[in-house]
Amino acid sequence: MTLNVLTSRSFFNAALVTLVCTACTATPAVVVNVTNRAASDITNVRMEAGGQVLQTAALQPGQTQSFTLKVQRDSDVVLTFMRGGQPHTVKANTYLTHGMRGQVDLTLTPAWSVTAESKLRTGWF
């Protein structure tokens, strides 16, 4: 966290100090990292959460794609992708609430399941 100190003089020449938290002015966001640990490519990768839908063309084995969400409403995190011409939809074990910030790591395992690890918080700090 960074604090900026702003100083001004009042009518009576007394110094007034105002602390401004620069982290407080940032818009809350959640970074979702999607990693493909499976043995083959996945295509039409789409991530839905917090009122947003974000997508990328494909993820090769070992590749990670990051998505930044400004969580506008409470929701689950849902990952949709194509594998071998078949659509797959997985709801991650993570729930986001409005104004949340932090990071979620979703990993597509070799068994084609999704694991979720999150470091999330609400509020400004």
Any domain includes 115: yes
Number of folded domains that form the chain: 1
pLDDT tens, 34-70? Answer: 999 999 999 999 999 988 999 998 999 999 999 998 8
Task: Report how far residue 79's alpha carbon sits from residue 5's, in angstroms, rounded to the nearest whole number.
Answer: 43
Q: Is the pLDDT of residue 125 over 90?
A: no
Task: Report how far residue 35's alpha carbon sits from residue 106's, in angstroms, rounded to the nearest whole number.
Answer: 6
Any domain includes 80: yes
Any domain includes 56: yes
Q: How many CA atoms lie within 13 A of 56 on its CB side?
A: 18
Kindly report which listed range (23-27, 28-32, 52-56) carries the lowest average pLDDT score.
Answer: 23-27
**What's the CATH code of the domain at 100?**
2.60.40.2890
Any domain includes 15: no
Any domain includes 19: no
Any domain includes 84: yes
Supply the range of the domain harboring residue 48.
Answer: 27-121
Task: Report how far residue 114's alpha carbon sits from residue 77's, in angstroms, rounded to the nearest whole number.
Answer: 11
